[in-house]
Chains A and B, each alone.
Chain A
Amino acid sequence: MASREVHLELLLGKEVLDSTGQEIGRLEEVQAKQSGEDWVIYEYLVGPAARLERLSAWALGLAILRLFGAHKVRRGYKGYRVPWDQLDLTNPEKLRLNCSLDELKTISEKLEAED
């Protein structure tokens, strides 16, 4: 069983490319849940391209939106939900999806619908 260590904090904000090499956004959040005794990753959130780390124009915009009553602007709205098996972390400098953007959109929407 081959295993490797990855520094999650270095992946934050890195560009994510799809299987065709197209830039789809930046890694914004990583979601984990318990699986037996371990905690494992089950989903990544990849936000729209061109942002400033975690302080983003989006966050600002979010805040302003909420000002005007948009309290239900949900996280899932922010970007794509990527299941753990679709993101290849073996090269931390080049995060690649195992699928194409269109395939991701389908998967993402399905996850949204399930929620």
Chain B
Amino acid sequence: MNKILMIALGILTSIGGFLDVGAIATAAEAGSEFGYQLIWAILLGTICVIFLVEMSGRLAAASKHTLADAIRERFGISFYIIPLIAEVFVDFLVLAAEIGGVCIALQLVTGISFQWWALPVAFAIWILLWKGTLGLIENGISTLGLITLVFVFATFKLHPSLTQLGAGILPTLPREDVTHYLFIAVSILGALISPYLFYFYSSGAVEDKWDEEYIGVNRMIAGVGMGFGSIVSLGVLIVAALVLHPKGIQVDSYEQAALMLTETFGYWGFILFAASLGIACFGAALEVSLDTAYIVAQTFGWNWGESLHPKEAARFSLVYTVFVFLASLLMLVGIDPLQLTLFSMAITTLTLPPVILPFLVLMNDKSYVGEYRNGWITNSVLIFTIALAFILAIVAIPLEIIGG
């Protein structure tokens, strides 16, 4: 009974927590500029992330190690220091972008410039981390995130042509703006396949004391949760394609993106967009802040745990505290949130190879995962994802420069 409840909750929180600033921004841009043509990118990213998240959970349940723990132990500090620094740097940018998402949402609703919201939002994030428990964050905020289902609802109300949707499942190149198209594709993949997800998920699994009995639970949550979560992402793209694309509205700012729900919901669509953006980004901001604290503490062997009182994990708590306020400074000084989002999604792809490669060794290593080693299907998907990650890492910066 408990397991079923856990699976259900896990699926709900995966759906509610799927969207973040990157997923929203990239899907909105994709839909508004290229219609359905980039649906394949969301599907591809989702499949990769399902497998990687499942592996993170299985690693935690079988080895009782988090991903960061396992990488340092198995490969040594000389290897891990580079991915660690890269991940902290990327987390910084992504966190700033997530905070930006919340600030923009507040700007949309109140009219007060997002810069003014930077510090209050940072404070709200901090206080929840400081006083809250992992359960509150994982379950509470992510459940609120179910509001993002409005995009799925709007999709149904707008009656997209299924045949046209189906055409988007296969990758095609547009007639013009090819570099921009590829840049958005790379950004979508970077937004969906985010390393912070794997680190965070494995840390949560260890904090929740998962063991071998949760292997099945993990598979369900990863597969069904992420799978359904991607439907929300598709919803954003499809709505943007149906509402913004025909009008030639290219998403250059969140204000424009916010228009996409007005066709279905009228004025409330604007509010619903803001609420979705704000809640999704707030939840993601919590995760990214925690993720940074997790990986730093786990690398150096400090005591860590969100549910612990800050007194019991002083260094861990200090990391996220400093991080949240530093990241908010980027918004305080007025860096454009949308531009930062797209940029950080592209940069994320650079950190993918060193994060995913270790999975290939760890998930086949008996001493870590025992009998729960990867099957050949999982290994094949993993190798494909690694190859994809290398390709993305190589093309990301050039595409950013040419097509960004």
Contacts and interface: CB of A to CB of B under 8 A. Distances in A.
**Do A and B touch (CB < 8 Å)?**
yes
Interface string A43-80: 00000000011110001101110110000000000000
B357 interface: yes
B360 A55 contact: no
A67 B379 contact: yes
Contacts of B75: 53-55
A77 to B, nearest CB: 16
Given A55-B358, A60-B357, A12 B376 contact: no
Interface in B372-390: 374, 376, 379, 383
B265 interface: no
Interface in B336-380: 357-358, 360-361, 364-365, 374, 376, 379
A13 interface: yes
A67 B222 CA distance: 23
A66 B360 CA distance: 10
B364 A55 contact: no
Q: Majority SS of interface residues in chain B?
A: helix
Contact of B364 (A12, A52, A66): A66
A84 B364 CA distance: 31
Interface residues of B, number: 15
Contact of A54 (B79, B360, B364): B79
A52 B365 CA distance: 19
Contacts of B374: 67
Contacts of B364: 63, 66-67
A109 B37 CA distance: 60
Given A54-B74, A67-B379, A60 B361 contact: yes
B301 interface: no
Contact of A63 (B76, B79, B360, B376): B360
Which 6 A-B pairs give the minimum distances between C-beta atoms?
A: A55-B75, A55-B79, A54-B76, A63-B364, A63-B360, A67-B379
22 contacts: A12-B76, A53-B75, A53-B76, A53-B78, A53-B79, A54-B76, A55-B75, A55-B76, A55-B79, A55-B358, A55-B361, A59-B361, A60-B360, A60-B361, A63-B360, A63-B364, A64-B360, A64-B383, A67-B364, A67-B374, A67-B376, A67-B379
